[in-house]
Amino acid sequence: MEVFTVGTSSAVPSKERDLPANLINYKGERILFDCGEGTQKRLMMDKLGMMNISKIFISHWHADHFSGLLGLIQTLEMEGREEPLYIYGPPRTEEFTDRILDTGYFNRSYDIFVEDIIEGEEIVGEGYRIRPFEVEHGINAFGYVFEEEEQVKANKEKMENYGLGSSPKVGRLKKGEAVEHNGETVQPGDVVEKMAGRKVVYSGDTSKCKNTVKHAKDADLLIHEATCLHEMIDDRRGHTSAKQAAEIAKMADVEKLALTHISRRYRGNKAEELLEEASEIFPNSELGEDGKKFEIKPHRPE
């Protein structure tokens, strides 16, 4: 499973950073979180599998987070896409998407399904679930949790000890059923190992928010906005400083923090100041860069 911080600027792009977008590659399926201007170009340049995007989740309807939708949708049609595309977001997502799709003349070779969602709902995919959670940005705005299902694996050595090898009973054990084999009862716990699924959380745009701590708990990766240094935060209402993003990461006890939504004020080496500020509080912090890859390894058996 790979996660990419595709675009890492805040409201205005810079030479180094384009507008917000993040991509999860889960077993070949691509899921996009936000689609700022420049997203399709970055996806193409980095060969991130744009045609395989199945779902797009919009965090909120500020232009820096959706301004790449129209171009992306048109390119998918030019490339002959046939599979449907699903777009989800906070209340009014259907209304805003309809307006975008009504702009200009273009054909569509595929269906687009759009749905307003609310906290408490979840979108279930193959092997994972995605949940929105409310954040504090002055308008309807979400962060998102991507959570993989619990992984159930048969331990090869233990299977052989029971003489189960490639018996069809293995499937039943993995489903949690006990089986009779060679005159003895084999319990699932004797041969099957369980691993918590992987978890990736994206904050969207928000001020420091308790709900993010709750939903990011124990995540493998938290991609959190860090618009500015803490000295500037009073001028950036509805946003988070690098220091505050690190405090959230620490409280939520996440494995790694990636900083994103970086103001163009922090060009070049100046962005390192954000990383320094965050690392003082949460050492396992990294600066998001456009197209940067974060590999999320499977968990070990409990």
81 binds Zn ion per the rule CB under 5 A: no
Considering the complex, state which of residue 62 and residue 256 has its C-beta at the smaller distance from Zn ion: 62
62 binds Zn ion per the rule CB under 5 A: yes
State in angstroms the smallest separation of the CB of 172 from Zn ion: 49
State in angstroms the smallest separation of the CB of 36 from Zn ion: 8
Alpha-carbon torsion, ordered 165, 169, 175, 177, to 10 deg? -120
64 binds Zn ion per the rule CB under 5 A: yes
64 in active site: yes
Contacts with Zn ion, 33-52, as mask; x by CB under 5 A? --------------------
* Residue tagged active-site, from 34, 64, 205, 220: 64
Give the residues across from 229 on adjacent strands.
none
17 binds Zn ion per the rule CB under 5 A: no
Closest CA to 2 of 72, 49, 44: 49
Q: What CA–CA distance (Å, rounded) separates 22 from 100? A: 21
- Rounded to 10 deg, the angle between the 242-252 and 271-281 helix axes is 30
- Rounded to 10 deg, the angle between the 69-78 and 93-101 helix axes is 50
Contacts with Zn ion, 204-243, as mask; x by CB under 5 A? -x--------------------------------------
Considering the complex, state which of residue 37 and residue 205 has its C-beta at the smaller distance from Zn ion: 205
Q: Is 76 helix (H, G, I), strand (E, B) or coil?
A: helix
The tokens describing 9, both together, are 């600027």
Considering the complex, state which of residue 158 and residue 236 has its C-beta at the smaller distance from Zn ion: 236
Q: What CA–CA distance (Å, rounded) separates 70 from 179? A: 54
State in angstroms the smallest separation of the CB of 205 from Zn ion: 4
Q: What CA–CA distance (Å, rounded) separates 247 from 160? A: 47
Positions marked catalytic: 64
Interacting residues with Zn ion (CB under 5 A): 62, 64, 205
